[in-house]
Amino acid sequence: MNAPTAATTATKTISFTEAYSRALHDAMEMDPRVIMLGEDIADEEGGGVFKVTKGLSTKFGSRVRTTPISEQAIVGAAVGAALAGLRPVAEIMLMNFITVPMDQIVNHAAKLRFMSGGQTHVPITIRTRTGAGAGTAGQHSDMLEAWFAHVAGMKVVIPSSPADAYGLLLGCIFDEDPCLFIEDAMTRTQTGPEPEKGKIIPLGQANVAREGTDVTVIGYGRPLRDTLVIAEKLAAEGISVEVLDLRTVSPLDTDSILKSVAKTQRAVVVHEAPRSFGAGAEVAARIQEHLYSELKAPVLRVASRDVTVPFAKVLEQEYLYKPSAIEASIRQTLNGKGRR
Q: At what angle do helices 254-264 and 279-291 cross, to 10 degrees?
A: 60
**List 25, 121, 140, 150, catalytic entry:** 140
- Closest by CA position to 252, among listed 293, 200, 289: 289
Among this protein's residues, is 140 annotated catalytic?
yes
User: Under DSSP, is residue 271 helix (H, G, I), strand (E, B) or coil?
Assistant: strand
Is residue 181 within 8 A of residue 34, CB to CB? The reply is no
| Cα 250 from Cα 158, distance rounded (Å) | 10
- Closest by CA position to 140, among listed 100, 93, 174, 172: 93
Helices (H), 88-185: 102, 112-115, 145-149, 162-173
Phi, psi of 153 (to 5 degrees): 100, -20
| Cα 155 from Cα 121, distance rounded (Å) | 13
| Cα 160 from Cα 156, distance rounded (Å) | 14
Contacts of 6 (CB under 8 A, 6+ apart): none
Contacts of 152 (CB under 8 A, 6+ apart): 110, 111, 114
Q: Kindly list the catalytic residues.
A: 140
